[in-house]
Amino acid sequence: MASASAKKIRPKYLSLPALLFEIRLPVPGWVSILHRISGALLFFPFVAWLLYLLDSSLSSESAFEHMKGYLALPLVKLGALVFIWAYCHHFCAGIRYLLLDLDLGVDLQTARLTSWIVIVAGLALTAIFGARLW
């Protein structure tokens, strides 16, 4: 098997404090890394959790009522809130990438503006659906 990693050693400046405090991501960079993080979270554990919820809620009337009680638990609601944010952000950022692929909104100013729109829309949708959940 050939090696996948580049063997050439390059200088790197990626200490944790540097990542946290010195390297500043531009807004489109934040949309990008949040798209990746939300996607990873949706892949695991949220799809598994959702399938568990769907499975239980469809299995019997008593299990359905049990699920309603389960979803009312504060910690479960918090998990649901994280899921809602991950889904909404991934959805909005994904639409932005589809438009970028079509060469729409590629210039810097527009790209920054749409990045802010995606971040705010993700949080706003989370607030709206979260409010319904509570």
Partner 1 sequence: MRRIVVGAHYGLRDWLAQRITAVIMALYTLLVGAMLLKNAPFTYPAWKELFAQGWMRVATLLFAASLAWHAWVGVRDILMDYIKPDGLRLTLQVMTVLLLAAYVGWTIQILWR
Give the binding site for partner 1 (CB under 8 A). 1-5, 36, 39-40, 42-44, 47-48, 51, 54-55, 57-59, 61, 64-65, 91, 94-95, 98, 101
| C-alpha–C-alpha distance, residues 27 and 108, integer Å | 11
Supply the minimum distance, in Å, between the C-beta of residue 31 and partner 1.
Answer: 15
Distance of CA 102 to CAs 65, 66, 119, Å? 46, 46, 21
Q: Which is nearer to partner 1, 26 or 45 (CB)?
A: 45
Supply the minimum distance, in Å, between the C-beta of residue 56 and partner 1.
Answer: 10
Strands (E) located in the chain: none
Q: Which is nearer to partner 1, 10 or 109 (CB)?
A: 10
Supply the minimum distance, in Å, between the C-beta of residue 26 and partner 1.
Answer: 19
CB distance 39 to 90 below 8 Å? yes
Supply the minimum distance, in Å, between the C-beta of residue 128 and partner 1.
Answer: 11
Q: Which is nearer to partner 1, 73 or 95 (CB)?
A: 95
In angstroms, how far is the first alpha carbon of the chain from the final one?
A: 53
Cα dihedral across residues 77, 131, 53, 92: positive or negative? negative
Q: Which is nearer to partner 1, 3 or 109 (CB)?
A: 3
